[in-house]
Structure 1
C-alpha cells in the first residue's frame, strides 16, 4: 500500500497539478508513476522520461508485474511498428529518454497525433537531477530542453519532476527547465532518512588495485564447498570501464572456479544483452558482485543488495547519495554503504 505522501501526490497529479517530489532512494517514487497510470482512467497514458536504458527496463518489468501495460521506446526498439501502435492506443506507461521524447520520430508518429495527445495523463521526469548534472554543454543537452514538450502536450497536462537529490540550485534549474509556475504546482520533500543503512568513509589503502580494500566483506574461508549465497550481494562503483574490468579479474582470481561467474561488470560500453544479463543475474542471485560505473548509479531496485561501495571520490554528494541508495532497498533489510577515498581527503 502507498504511504500517505505517495497517495497525496498521486491525488494532486490526478487533479492536474504539476509537481516536484524529493524523496530518498528506495522510498518508492516509481509508485507515483504507476499510481497515476493506473488511476488516470481508461485509455490514459503516463510518460516517464528516464536517463538510462537499464532503468527503463527495470521499471517496465516492475510495472508489468503489477498488471500495468508498460513499455519502453529507445533506439533498440523504435523500429518495432507494433510498439508505436501500442503507445498510440493501449499502453498505460511509456518509458523513454529525453532524446527519444524530442526526436523527429516521436514528433511525427505521436506528438502530431491528436489521439495520442488526448491520452496523456502526465509527464514524469524521473531522476530529474540529471537536468542539472548532465544537461550542460555537449553531454545530453536535450535535458535542458524538456520545456519544449509543453508545446506538444499543452498546459493542461501535469509535469512532475522526481529525484532523491535536489539542492537549491538544482531546484531553481528544474523550475526553469520544466516551465513550472504557469499552472498549479504541488511540491513535497519527504527527506533522505534511511535508518536501515550504515554509512562509513575511510581511506583507500590499495590505490594500485582498489578492490583489494573490499575483500574483507567476502567469507573468511572460501573453498569448493562455499555456496554462491555465502557471498553478499554487492555493487562496487569505479570511475572507468577499465577499473571495473580490473576489479572483476581480481575478484575472479581469488574465488574458486565454481564462483567466478558470480562477479560481473556493468558499464555503458557493454551490449544491452550483457547489461540485461547482469541485472537479471543480480536479481535472481546467480550474480553476487557487480563492478560498475555510473551506468548503474541510478534506479537499480533490487531489494537485497547488502553492500554499496564507492572507490575513489565521485563528482559530488548527489552521486554518493544515488549510489549508496542502491543498498538495502527492502525496508526490512540492512545495507552497508562505504566510501573509500584518497588519504588527502582526510
Structure 2
C-alpha cells in the first residue's frame, strides 16, 4: 500500500497556484544566495492571458550582509543604500518567439530593457550594431545571436524607497501593474532579480532564488538536488539561469522515476511519455508529480485496477485522466460521477487542454444528434450512474465498446458514494458493482475518493469482486495481464493540513448571528444534516446580514447551478448545503467550513473540512455541537427517520451506530489530540509531537501563532466545547476517545473487532493505570498479546 504521510515536498522557486484559473507566482529567497535578504514577492495575474498583475512584496533587509554582496559583485564596494528588482526572462534569438512577445508587453515608461547589453548608448534589440554585450552586464550572453537574451521589467526602487542597512528595514507593499508580462510554457526562464544600489554604481544583482527541491518521503525514495541559481546572482560568466519549466520537469521526473523504478525497469522513453501526458493535463508552473499520482498512473497503464485514496486537492482527477490518454487512440475511459456540476467542471478543464472529453446525462445534450455520434472519438466520457443504467442509447454504446475492446477503463469518481448513497436515494450506485461484474468483468476499474476508512476500502473491493493489494506489485508487471484487472492496487496519501484549525463549539440558539460574526465576508461553506436545516440556516444567516444561498438535491437543477456559480464568482459569501456540495468544486480560497450540526461520520467530516484552505492559507473548520443534534443523528442512522419531510433523498449520508459513536467521541473529548483521532480513523498513525496545536491540543505553538488571530488564541479553551462529565470516575468522553484509538489500531493491524478492547476493559485500564505491559497483561480479560499491542496507546499523566 502506498501511504505518503506528511506534506508532499514543494520547491521554493516560482510556485504557481491557480485560483479561478488566474495565474499566481510566489518568489522566495534561498538563504544560501540571498545575502541576508528574506521574504517573498507574489505576482497574481488578472487572467490567463492578462498582463495586469497585483504584486505583493514582503521583504526584510535587516539581516543583509555587506560582505556577501561584495562577493557577488566586486564593484559593489560602497554601502548598499537602496534596492531594485526586475523580472528577468530569457528567450531564443528569434524576435518572433513567444518569450520575446511576452517581454514586449513590458514596454512601458516604468522600465523596459529587452537587452541592456548593447553598450551604454543602446537600449533596444533592433539596433544592428549591437552585436556584443556590454561588460557591465556580465550575466548576459556574449553573443545574443547565438545565445538567449535577457528581458528586464520592473525597476521598483520607488516602491522600496531608500533602505539603509542596519536599521532593521522591512517592506510590505502591494500595487497593480497593467503591463507585467505573463510567463508562458515556452519561456525558458522566468525569475525575479533583486539588485543592490551601491553608491553611484549601477545596481548589481545581489541575491537569488532556489533551494533543495526534493526531500525524503518515508522509505520510498531519497533524492536531493543541489541549490539551483534560478536568478543570475553574480558577475561570473558561468552564472546560470535554470528554466522554471526545466526545474519543474526535474522534480516531477525524479518523483516519477523514483516510484516507477522502485518496482519496475521503466525506460526513460516510457517515463517521458507518462510525464508528457501528465503535463498535458496540468501545465501550471507548480506542477509536480507526487509518488501517489505516478504510482496510480503506472499501475493503471499496466492494466491493474486501482483504489485511489488521495486528500482533497491532491490530484485525484489527474491520476485517472492521464492513463486515459495513454491508451490506444480508439479507446475510451468511462468516468461515472455523482454530480453534474462536478462533471461539467472537469470536462471543461479537459477541453481547454485540447482533450476530447464529453459529459452526457439527462437533459444535458442535443437529442437531435445520436448519442453514438457524440461519443465517437472521445477519450473520456463522463456520466451519472442513473444515465448509464437507464438510458438505452448509453447502454448500447457502452456494451458495444466493451465487446470491441474499446472500453479502456471504468472510473468511479467520489467512490464513497457507492456506500453512502447506494442503500438510500441512489440505488443505481450500488447496482454499478453488479452491472460491472456481469458485463465488464475484464475491464479494469479505478475507484477514487478523498475520504474513506480502511474498512470501507475493503468493503468496496469485495463489492466489485476485486483482490485488494495493499502493496505495489514488485514483479514489474510480470503477472498475466489478463488477470491484473481483478487485482486492485491501493494507493493512499495523507497530508497533514497544518493550515486548517479545527474547533468544536457548543451550539446555542444564536448559531446564525455567531456564524455571521465569525466568518464576516470570508468565503464559507455551512454543512447541514438535512435539506430543511440547510434552508432554515440560510434564512437565518440572511437575516443576520450574510450574503447566503442554499444548495441541496431537492432544488431544481438550474437553481442549484445558479447558486453554485454565484458562490464560485464571489457573489455569495456563504453557501448552506448538504454533504453533496463541494465534491470536485475547484475553489481554493474557502476560509471557513462550518458544520451547523454533527456530521454522520468522520469520513464525511474529513472530506468536508478538506474543502477549506486549499490555497495553503490559514482556514478554520468549526463544528457546532449539541446533544439535540446528536439525538437527531442517532435517530437518522438507527431508525431511518426523515426530519425534513422531503422524502428519501433528504439524507445524503450513510452511517452506522459505531461511526456516530466515533464522531461523538471526537466532539466530546477534552484530552488528547483530535487530529490523532481523525487520522487513526483512516488507519494512520499521527505523531502528536508534530501537531501545531491547531485542534484541541492547547495554545498554538509560536511557529503557528501568526495563523490565528490573538482573540482566537485567547478563547481557544472556551471554544473547544466540552465540559468534563460530572459523574464520579473516568469521564465517559475519555473512555470513548481511548476506545476508538484502540479500534483504529486494530483496524490498522487488520484484526477482527474481538481482538480490540471493550469499553469496560478500557475503563478498567484507565482506573488501574498499569505501569508496564506485564502489569496490564495480568488484568482480567486482557492477556499478554493485547497488552503488548495496546499498552503504548495509553498515557497516564
TM-score (norm 2): 0.38
Query: Which is higher, the Rg of structure 1 or of structure 2?
Result: 2
Q: 2:345 aligns with which of 20, 45, 58?
A: 58
Q: 1:162 aligns with which of 423, 445, 448?
A: 448
Q: Which residue of 2 aligns with 1:340?
A: 624
Q: Distance in 2 between matches of 1:191 and 1:167?
A: 12
Report the equivalent of 1:194.
497
Q: CA deviation at 1:29?
A: 0.7
Counterpart of 1:274 in structure 2 is 559
Match 2:335 to one of 38, 41, 48: 48
**Match of 1:141?**
427
Task: Please say if 1:265 is aligned against 2:265.
Answer: no
The reply on whether 1:212 has 2:513 as its aligned counterpart is: yes
Note the C-alpha offset of 1:319.
1.4
Contact 1:301 1:329 (C-alpha < 8 Å) held by counterparts: no
SS of equivalent to 1:82: coil
Q: Secondary structure at the match of 2:369?
A: helix
CA distance in 2, matches of 1:272, 1:239: 20
- The residue correspondences of 1:6-155 to structure 2 (distance < 5 A) are 6-77=293-364, 80-82=367-369, 84-106=371-393, 108-114=395-401, 117-136=404-423, 138-147=424-433, 148-155=435-442
Find out whether 1:235 has 2:521 as its counterpart: no
After superposition, the C-alpha distances for 1:40-84 in whole angstroms (9 at most, x for unaligned) are: 242332111112223222322333333322222222226635372
Which structure shows the higher helix fraction?
A: 1
> What SS does the aligned partner of 2:580 have?
helix
- Gap change, CA 1:244 and 1:158, over 3 Å in 2: same
Aligned length: 325
Q: Structure 1 residue 338: deviation in Å?
A: 1.1
Higher relative contact order (CA 8 A, sep 6+): 1
- Contact 2:552 2:580 (8 Å CA) reproduced: yes
**8 Å CA contact 1:125, 1:160 repeated in 2:** yes
1:311 and 2:596 are equivalent in the alignment: yes
Contact 2:512 2:544 in 1 (8 A): no
Q: Which 10-residue stretch deviates more, 316-325 or 179-188?
A: 179-188
Corresponding position of 1:171 = 457
Structure 1 distance, partners of 2:560, 2:627, is 33
Partner of 1:244: 534
Q: 1:198·1:335 contact (CA, 8 Å) conserved in 2?
A: yes
1:140–1:192 Cα change, 3 Å? farther
CA contact under 8 A between 1:202 and 1:340: conserved in structure 2?
Answer: yes
Tell me, yes or no, if the aligned pair for 1:205 and 1:213 is still in contact at 8 Å. Answer: no
Cα offsets for 1:220-257 (capped at 9, x unmatched): xxxxxxxxxxx1111111123332223333333343xx
- Output one character per residue of 1:94-142: Cα deviation in whole Å (capped at 9) or x when no partner: 2222222222515543133248853322111111112222222x43223
In 1: Cα distance, 2:292 partner to 2:324 partner: 17
